[in-house]
Amino acid sequence: MKLRRPATEARRSLGPTQTHRLPRRALAPLLAVGLLLGVACGPRPFPDTSEGIHVFNDQLVPSAMTEAQARFAAHHYAGSQKLTRADAQRIRQYNPKFIVLHYRLGIGLGYQSSGPDCRPSGDYLQILEGDSWVREWPGEAAVRDTWFFRRAGRRVYDCDWGWYLMNPDDPGWREYWVSEVMRQMQANGNDGVFADSFSVPNYLGTYDPPLPQLDTAFEAAWAARLTRFADYVKSRFAGRYYFIPNAGSLITTRDPYNYASVDGVMVEGFALGATNSYYDPADWELQMNRVLTLASQGKIIIGQSYVATSDVQGRMFALASYLLTKGSRSFINLEVSTEPEWFPEYEIEIGTPSQPLPSRIENLLDPTWRVYRRDYSEGVVLVNPGPGPRSFSLGRTYYRARPQGGGVIPPEGRPLTWGVPYDPVTTITLAPHEGAVLLNQGCGCGG
């Protein structure tokens, strides 16, 4: 569950790769104007991610950025979400292909943040409309009682985030949600919607009245509702906008929803839950397999990991897991704060995969090294999810990436002291929850 914006909420951020920079040739004037203003001829395309490392930023706050930082964001990030129209245009003056998604709850209607007794009492939750933050709750006069999912005859309120659970099968709610989202996307100049918390709801937190902790019939019914709702949204968007839900961490083994009818997903808590909070190896494998299934279908994948800037092991574990599962529209985001950020490992020149995307993560398990391995044109990616350490001979000399620096982009827009030294290695030891990127020959890190 991602943070919303009640009153003063600012949110999180990050960045994509050098391959997102504008082509040197000038764009035709009409095309440039159309992309800048968001003319309704279909969304901006997500870039092909087959080569290199690509990052989709979770959120930027351009009004707090220098012009140099805004230029850096435009040339290094594939896109972001939750931007005002003016902020989006500020970035798109440097890169008209910059993708912006609108933020909206997928199965809820934002109300008020709750107090410790799970009663709505705080600020109203807000969403973007054009250049303004507006209250998501339309008011009791506009709300229809049939919209709400009920439990024990009552509306179901999310105690953690302050929204009401809606009934995705209700025709009135579907029409309201799609109409509002399309109206706001047009006002914002968006390319699609990021639908937060679009999962079977009893996986998401605490409710009043409570939802069942374990009920396979309840969960199967909700998976069917999500499928029908996604199908309806896609039919209404008709190729004009993306529908990209937040799928959560995808480590609930009994989860029956497969996200087959959406354009893509954010996997929140990709590879690890947070700094020093790693998944059990079986859960990591389950997440990787579900990501591989979606990537094999050509879905947009945004792998979002929450790590501390100083947690280089966590950063490299997430990056290596991303490279294991990377398809043609796969992005990573190492999330630390709401400021524009960059990490030098994003610029490791790993090249393109040497083999097709596997259907299962087990297909990448090296039987000799006993770690997960994927070969690229310029090197090798290794991941040890645990439980024990792995030590082995590489059979030749490789050059192991050891990133130094990373974090918030300075006001002048250039991280001068960051880079990726490469250590020559012929043997390697990978601790549990450790990833490595090995290049075939030593090189520097791009700037």
What does the alpha-carbon distance between residue 40 and residue 38 come to, in Å, rounded to a whole number? 6
442 pLDDT tier (thresholds 50, 70, 90): confident
Give, in order, the Cα–Cα distances in Å from 206 to each of 2, 5, 162.
15, 19, 10
Reported as a single tens digit per residue, the pLDDT across 331-349 is 999 988 878 999 999 999 9
Neighbours of 273 (CB within 10 A): 16
The dihedral over CA atoms of 317, 321, 322, 323, expressed in degrees to the nearest 10, equals: 100
38 pLDDT tier (thresholds 50, 70, 90): very low
The answer to whether residue 189 sits within a structural domain is yes
416 pLDDT tier (thresholds 50, 70, 90): confident
The answer to whether residue 440 sits within a structural domain is no
Q: Are 94 and 74 in contact (CB under 8 A)?
A: yes
Across the range 3-16, mean pLDDT stands at: 33
Q: Which amino acid type is present at position 101?
A: L
What does the alpha-carbon distance between residue 117 and residue 119 come to, in Å, rounded to a whole number? 6
Range of the domain at 131: 12-363
Across the range 397-422, mean pLDDT stands at: 95
pLDDT at 219 over 80: yes
pLDDT of residue 339: 83
E strand intervals along 317-421 = 330-335, 341-342, 372-376, 379-384, 390-401, 407-408
Q: Which residue has the higher pLDDT, 138 or 8?
A: 138
Q: Which residues, in sequence order, are bridge partners of residue 151?
A: 154
Give, in order, the Cα–Cα distances in Å from 321 to each of 16, 302, 315, 431.
16, 13, 10, 15
Reported as a single tens digit per residue, the pLDDT across 356-392 is 999 999 999 999 999 999 999 999 999 999 999 999 9
pLDDT at 18 over 80: no
Reported as a single tens digit per residue, the pLDDT across 167-211 is 999 999 999 999 999 999 999 999 999 999 999 999 999 999 999
The answer to whether residue 192 sits within a structural domain is yes
**What total number of domains does the chain contain?**
1
Across the range 259-284, mean pLDDT stands at: 97
Return the minimum-mean-pLDDT range out of 14-23, 119-128, 209-218, 406-415.
14-23
CATH number at residue 309: 3.20.20.70
pLDDT of residue 1: 54
CA proximity to 9, closest of 267, 336, 248, 338: 338
pLDDT at 421 over 90: yes
Across the range 271-297, mean pLDDT stands at: 97
Q: What is the mean pLDDT of the chain?
A: 90
CA proximity to 436, closest of 351, 339, 328, 350: 350
Across the range 151-169, mean pLDDT stands at: 97
Core vs surface per residue 117-143: b (16+ CB within 10 A) or e: eeebeeebbbbbbeeebeebbeeeeeb
Reported as a single tens digit per residue, the pLDDT across 248-257 is 999 999 999 9
pLDDT of residue 2: 55
Specify the 3-state DSSP secondary structure of 431.
coil
Can you give the length of the chain in residues? Answer: 447
Return the minimum-mean-pLDDT range out of 25-34, 266-275, 394-403, 412-421.
25-34
The answer to whether residue 136 sits within a structural domain is yes
pLDDT at 33 over 70: no
Q: Are 202 and 156 in contact (CB under 8 A)?
A: no
The answer to whether residue 125 sits within a structural domain is yes
pLDDT of residue 443: 64
Neighbours of 102 (CB within 10 A): 26
Neighbours of 34 (CB within 10 A): 16
The answer to whether residue 236 sits within a structural domain is yes
Residues in contact with 169: Cβ distance below 8 Å, sequence separation at least 6, in sequence order:
225, 228, 229
Reported as a single tens digit per residue, the pLDDT across 231-250 is 999 999 999 999 999 999 99
What does the alpha-carbon distance between residue 219 and residue 189 come to, in Å, rounded to a whole number? 35
CA proximity to 192, closest of 284, 99, 126: 99
HSE-CB for 131 with a 13 A CA cutoff:
6
pLDDT of residue 75: 96
Across the range 81-97, mean pLDDT stands at: 96
DSSP, residue by residue, 378-400: TEEEEEE-SSS-EEEEEEEEEEE
The answer to whether residue 176 sits within a structural domain is yes
CA proximity to 268, closest of 291, 294, 247: 247
pLDDT at 407 over 70: yes
